[in-house]
Amino acid sequence: MTLDLLLFLGLALIAVLAAAGMLASRDAVYSALFLVLNFLTVAMLYLLLNAAFIAMVQVTVYAGAIMVLFLFVIMLLGTGREVIGGPQRWQPALAVLLVAALAGEILFILLGPAAQMGTEMLAAGPQFGSPASVGRVLFSEYLVPFEVISILLLVAMVGAIVITRVQRRSQS
Amino acid sequence: MLWSEAAQAEGLFLYAPWIVVLPVIGLILNLLFGRRMGERFVSIVACSAVASAFVIAVLQFLALQGHPEGATVHVADWITIGTLSAPWALKIDTLSATMMLMVTGVSTLIHIYAVGYMHEDVRFQGDPGRYTRFFVFFNLFVAAMMILVTADNYLMMFVGWEGVGLCSYLLIGFWYEKGEGGIGNALAGKKAFITNRIGDFGFLIAMFLIFGTAGSLQFDQVFHWVEGHGLASAGVVTAITLFLLLGATGKSAQLPLYVWLPDAMAGPTPVSALIHAATMVTAGIYMIARSGPLFEAAAFSSELAALIGAATALFAASIAVGQYDIKRVLAYSTISQLGFMMAAVGLGAYVAGMFHLVTHAFFKALLFLSAGSVIQGVEHGHHHAAHGEEEGEHFDPNDMRNMGGLRTRMKVTFWVYLTGALALAGIPPLAGFFSKDEILADASAESTAVYILLAVAALFTAFYMGRQILMVFFGKARSDAAAHARENPPVMTVPLIVLAGLSIVGGALNLPGVHTLTHWLEHTIHVHASEFNLQVALLSVIFALLAILAAWQLYGRKPLAKGQPDPLRRILGPIFVGMENKWWVDELYGFLFIQPYVRLAHFLAEVIDWRFWHDWFHDSVLGRAFKIFTHWLAGPFDLQVIDAIANGLGTLTQGASARLRVLQTGYVRNYALAVLVGGLLALSYFIFG
Amino acid sequence: MNIPPAYVLALSGILFAMGVLGVMIRRNAIVIFMSIELMLNSANLVLIGAARAMAPAVEALRGHVFVFFVIAVAAAEVAVGLALIVAIFRTKGTIDVDEVSSLRG
pLDDT (tens digit per residue) in C16-65: 999 999 998 888 889 999 999 999 999 999 999 988 888 777 788 899 99
Check whether B6 has a pLDDT greater than 50: no
Beta bridge partners of B85: B80
- The answer on pLDDT for B385 being more than 90 is no
- What DSSP letter does each residue of B108-167 carry, written as one string? HHHHHHHHHHHHHHHHHH--HHHHHHHHHHHHHHHHHHHHHHTBSBHHHHHHHHHHHHHH
Q: What digits encode the pLDDT tens for the residues A17-74?
A: 999 999 998 888 999 999 999 999 999 999 988 899 999 999 999 999 999 999 999 9
Confidence of residue B529 (pLDDT cuts 50, 70, 90): low
Assign residue A31 the CATH number of its domain: 1.20.120.1200
* Shortest CA gap B643–chain A (Å): 43
Name all chains with 3 or more CB-CB pairs below 8 Å to chain B: A, C
- Is residue A20 a part of any domain in this protein? yes
The verdict on a CB contact (< 8 Å) between A23 and C14 is: no
SS3 content of chain B, % helix, strand, coil (to 5): 80, 5, 20
For residue B226, the model assigns a pLDDT of: 85
Spatial distance between the Cα atoms of B98 and B108, rounded to a whole number of angstroms: 16
pLDDT at B347 over 50: yes
Residue C28 with chain B: CB contacts under 8 Å: none
Residues of B in contact with C104 (CB under 8 A): 664-667
- Residue B8, pLDDT above cutoff 50: no
- Per-residue model confidence as pLDDT tens digits over B483-495: 777 777 888 888 8
A122 belongs to a structural domain: no
Compare A146 and B38 and report the one with higher pLDDT.
A146
Residues B304, C90: Cα–Cα separation, whole Å: 121
**Is pLDDT of A8 > 50?**
yes
pLDDT in tens, B250-297: 888 888 888 888 888 888 889 988 887 778 888 999 999 998 888 888
The whole-angstrom separation of Cα A11 and Cα A43 is 10
The dihedral region occupied by B513, where left means phi > 0, alpha psi between -120 and 50, and beta the remainder, is left
Q: Which residues of C touch B662 (CB under 8 A)?
A: 105
> Across the A/B interface, how many CB contacts are shorter than 8 Å?
29
Q: Is the Cβ pair B687, A105 closer than 8 Å? A: yes
Helix, strand or coil, per DSSP, at residue C28: strand
Is the Cβ of A101 closer than 8 Å to some Cβ of chain B? yes
In chain C, residues 3-62 whose CB comes closer than 8 Å to chain B: 20, 23-24, 27, 32
B141 to B24, B148, B483: CA distances (angstroms): 9, 10, 37
Rounded to 5 degrees, φ, ψ at B255 are -60, 140
**Confidence band (pLDDT; 50, 70, 90) for B160?**
very high
Delineate the domains of chain C, giving CATH numbers in brackets: 5-92 (1.10.287.3510)
Predicted confidence at residue B4, as pLDDT, reads 35
List of chain B residues whose C-beta atoms are within 8 Å of the C-beta of residue A94: 673
In a domain, A85, yes or no: no
Residues in chain A within 8 Å Cβ distance of B680: 98, 101-102, 105
Which secondary structure element, helix H or strand E, spans residue B81, and what is its range? strand B71-81
In Å, how far is B680's CA from the nearest CA of chain A?
7
All partners of chain A with 3 or more CB pairs under 8 angstroms: B, C
Confirm or reject contact between A116 and chain C (CB < 8 A).
no
Is A91 part of the contact surface with chain B (CB cutoff 8 Å)?
Answer: yes
CB B486 within 8 A of CB B377: yes
In chain A, residues with a C-beta closer than 8 Å to the C-beta of C47 are none
- What's the maximum distance between 2 C-alpha atoms anywhere in chain C? 56
- Look up residue B496 and give its amino acid: L
Distance CA B490, CA C13 (A): 130
Lowest mean pLDDT among A8-12, B117-121, B626-630, C84-88: B117-121
Interface touch C56/A8, C-beta < 8 Å: no
Residues 75-94, chain C: which have Cβ within 8 Å of B? none
Question: Tell me, what's the ipTM?
Answer: 0.91
Q: Quick check: B666 and C105 CB within 8 A?
A: yes
Number of domains within chain A: 1
Nearest chain C residue to B674, by CA: C24
pLDDT digits (tens, 9 = 90+) for B593-619: 888 889 999 888 888 888 777 877 887
Please tell me the predicted confidence (pLDDT) of residue B38: 75
For chains A and C, CB pairs below 8 A equal 244
pLDDT on residue B7: 36
* Residue of chain B with shortest Cα separation from C103: B666
Asked, for residue A134, whether it belongs to a domain, the answer is yes
Q: Is residue A92 part of a domain?
A: no
Q: Determine the residue among A69, A122, A158 to mutate to test chain C binding: the one whose Cβ has the most chain C Cβ atoms within 10 Å.
A: A122
Optimal mutation site among B680, B681, B685, B688, interface A, most CBs of chain A within 10 A: B680
- Contact call for residues B167 and B144 (beta carbons, < 8 A): yes
Question: How high is the mean pLDDT of chain B?
Answer: 84
In a domain, A152, yes or no: yes
Residue B390: is its pLDDT beyond 60? no
Residue B432: pLDDT above 80?
yes
Range of the domain at A136: 3-79+127-171
CA nearest B352: which of B430, B434, B444, B255?
Answer: B434
Cβ-defined contact of A76 to C86 (cutoff 8 Å):
yes
For the stretch B31-88, pLDDT in tens is 888 878 777 888 899 999 999 999 999 988 888 888 777 788 888 888 888 878 788 8
Hey, which residues does B124 pair with through a beta bridge? none
Strand partners for B88:
B76
Around Cβ B220, how many Cβ atoms within 10 Å?
12
Residues 655-684 of chain B with CB under 8 A from chain A are: 665, 667, 669-670, 673, 676-677, 679-680, 683-684
Instruction: Confirm if B160 and B149 have CB atoms less than 8 A apart.
Output: yes
**What pLDDT score was predicted for residue B310?**
92
Instruction: With CB atoms and an 8 Å threshold, state whether B667 touches A94.
Output: no
Asked if residue A41 belongs to a domain, the reply is yes
Task: Give B563: exposed, middle or buried? Use CB within 10 Å, 0-12, 13-18, 19+.
Answer: exposed
In chain C, % helix, strand, coil (3-state, to 5) comes to 80, 0, 20
> pLDDT-derived band of residue B580, with 50, 70 and 90 as boundaries?
confident
Mean pLDDT of A127-152: 91
pLDDT tens figures, B374-384? 888 888 777 77
Residue A22 lies in a domain: yes
Query: Which one of A119-123, B142-146, B579-583 scores highest in mean pLDDT?
Result: B142-146
C-alpha Rg value of chain B to the nearest Å: 36
